[in-house]
Amino acid sequence: MTMADEDLKLDHLFADARRDRLTLADDLVVRIQTDAEAIRLERLAPTARPKRGAWTRLFETIGGWQGFGGLVAASAAGVWIGFAAPTFLPDPANLLTAQDTSYLVADLGFDTSFLENTE
Amino acid sequence: MEDLTSHPQDVRGVDFAANDLSDDALLRRFADGDAGAARVLTDRLGPRSFSVALRMLGNRAEAEDVTQDAMMRLWQMAPDWVPGTAKVSTWLYRVTLNLCVDIRRKKRPDRLSDVPEPEDGKASVVDRLQDEARKDALQLALSELPERQRQAVVLRHIEELPNPEIAGVMGISVEAVESLTARGKRSLAAILADRRDELGYDNG
């Protein structure tokens, strides 16, 4: 038998192999589809969650609810001190509306006598 | 090559519009969350991966595992796929062959009992036995080829891919593909000539 004959026989074998083109077993299709679905859902999950906005990020930066609670308490204390200061603290309202400011300048250690001469 | 995309009845429970889409478009749709696209891609590309894996490994269970693994990688890379750069099927063939190489490195020799059985029930018992003997012989002869020759021969003569696509799958030049397939075919012919009597060529 010549090489060309062998080639011809081989071509027949290839043709047989091609004729029996394979289909996937049902259980393999299920396995592949299960994988695909798991990956599809995994990929969809992050976009389904609400986006983290600027306020959310700030909230997390200050320590979540615990940090936020502390911040609220400190703010409330500040407001309360502003309205009803303990006696040992200067009244902040007076500080803001002080009429006589000369002692503030004097406290800086400058010579303020020239101010008195102009009057 | 048989056009698998032209047989919408092969696709299990999927709308016909999806069948008309390219592999690129289906992969994009899957990445965007379309479950139906995965079903069409499975029916379209899964058998190709399985066919090559079975010819490379000669073992049905291993070939099924390879196909599942290759398709898994397809699902995973879907969002990163750049349409138009290469064919999805080329990519899948390459992944399949690489997975087969990994398995063959771990295990030898082939289990010939797992060669696919003929589905034609009308053939006579003698014909069927002879047919199986031929297929076993082809599988046996293929298993004796060096890895790269075997890959080239399977892709060229069983999957009927054009040489440029085989070159893309194997990462070599078209000339190298031609050389591999020519040498592979010569080797196969020589192996089969030694077993002519077993095959019953001259009787059928």
Interface of A with B in 4-63 (CB under 8 A): 6-7, 9-11, 13-14, 16-18, 20-25, 28-29, 31-33, 35-37, 39-40, 43-44
User: In terms of domains, do A61 and A38 share one?
Assistant: no
User: In terms of domains, do B31 and B108 share one?
Assistant: yes
> What is the C-alpha to C-alpha distance for residues B134 and B126, in angstroms, rounded to an integer?
12
User: In terms of domains, do A27 and A69 share one?
Assistant: no
User: Residue A118: inside a domain, yes or no?
Assistant: no
Of A21-35, A69-83, B149-163, which range is least confident?
Answer: A69-83
CATH number, residue B131: 1.10.10.10
User: In terms of domains, do B104 and B151 share one?
Assistant: no
Contacts of B64 in chain A (CB under 8 A): 25, 28, 31
pLDDT at A19 over 70: yes
User: Residue A58: inside a domain, yes or no?
Assistant: yes
User: In terms of domains, do A43 and A71 share one?
Assistant: no
pLDDT tens digit sequence for A43-91:
887 655 556 777 777 777 777 777 878 878 888 887 887 777 677 766 6
Query: In chain B, how many domains are there?
Result: 2
User: In terms of domains, do B57 and B123 share one?
Assistant: no
pLDDT tens digit sequence for B48-82:
999 999 999 989 999 999 999 999 999 999 999 98
Write the DSSP string, B59-127. Answer: -HHHHHHHHHHHHHHHHHHGGG--TTSS-HHHHHHHHHHHHHHHHHHH--S--GGGSPPP--TTS-HHH
- Comparing A33 with B7, which gets the higher pLDDT? A33
pLDDT of residue B118: 47
Token pair for residue B65? Answer: 């595992």
Domain boundary among the residues B88, B114, B140 is at: B114
- Using the beta-carbon criterion (under 8 Å), do B35 and A40 form an inter-chain contact? yes
User: In terms of domains, do B76 and B138 share one?
Assistant: no
Domain boundary among the residues B62, B97, B114 is at: B114
User: In terms of domains, do A43 and A58 share one?
Assistant: no
Residue of B nearest to A36 (CA): B75
The model's confidence at residue B178, banded by pLDDT at 50, 70 and 90, is very high
Other C-beta atoms lying within 10 Å of the C-beta of residue B81: 18
- Using the beta-carbon criterion (under 8 Å), do B50 and A13 form an inter-chain contact? no
Are B12 and B23 contacting, i.e. CB atoms less than 8 angstroms apart? no
pLDDT at B130 over 80: no
User: Residue A117: inside a domain, yes or no?
Assistant: no
What is the DSSP code (8-state) at residue A99? S
User: Residue A73: inside a domain, yes or no?
Assistant: yes
Query: In chain A, how many domains are there?
Result: 2
The model's confidence at residue B7, banded by pLDDT at 50, 70 and 90, is very low
What is the extent of the structural domain holding A62?
A: 54-109
User: In terms of domains, do A102 and A61 share one?
Assistant: yes
User: In terms of domains, do B26 and B105 share one?
Assistant: yes
Chain B contact present for A80, CB below 8 A: no
User: In terms of domains, do A62 and A103 share one?
Assistant: yes
pLDDT of residue B68: 97
User: In terms of domains, do B14 and B102 share one?
Assistant: yes
ipTM here: 0.76
Contacts of A5 in chain B (CB under 8 A): none
- Comparing A118 with B145, which gets the higher pLDDT? B145
Residue of A nearest to B195 (CA): A6
Are B46 and B71 contacting, i.e. CB atoms less than 8 angstroms apart? yes
User: In terms of domains, do A15 and A59 share one?
Assistant: no
- Using the beta-carbon criterion (under 8 Å), do B135 and A23 form an inter-chain contact? no
Distance between A51 CA and the closest CA of chain B, angstroms: 18
User: In terms of domains, do B26 and B55 share one?
Assistant: yes
What is the extent of the structural domain holding B19?
A: 1-114
Tell me the percentage of chain A whose pLDDT exceeds 70: 62
Q: What is the overall mean pLDDT for chain B?
A: 82
- Using the beta-carbon criterion (under 8 Å), do A32 and B42 form an inter-chain contact? yes
User: In terms of domains, do A33 and A66 share one?
Assistant: no
User: In terms of domains, do B124 and B107 share one?
Assistant: no
Give Cβ neighbours of residue A70 (< 8 Å, ≥ 6 apart): A63
Distance between A63 CA and the closest CA of chain B, angstroms: 35
User: In terms of domains, do B94 and B166 share one?
Assistant: no
User: Residue A97: inside a domain, yes or no?
Assistant: yes
The secondary element (H helix, E strand) that includes residue A93 is helix A92-96
User: Residue A116: inside a domain, yes or no?
Assistant: no
CATH number, residue B43: 1.10.1740.10
- Comparing B45 with B10, which gets the higher pLDDT? B45
User: Residue A119: inside a domain, yes or no?
Assistant: no
User: In terms of domains, do A39 and A78 share one?
Assistant: no
Are B57 and B115 contacting, i.e. CB atoms less than 8 angstroms apart? no
User: In terms of domains, do B121 and B80 share one?
Assistant: no
Cβ pairs bridging A and B (under 8 Å): 104
Contacts of A40 in chain B (CB under 8 A): 30, 33, 35, 38, 75
User: Residue A75: inside a domain, yes or no?
Assistant: yes
- Using the beta-carbon criterion (under 8 Å), do B67 and A1 form an inter-chain contact? no
Domain boundary among the residues B114, B134, B169 is at: B114
Distance between A76 CA and the closest CA of chain B, angstroms: 49
User: In terms of domains, do A39 and A14 share one?
Assistant: yes
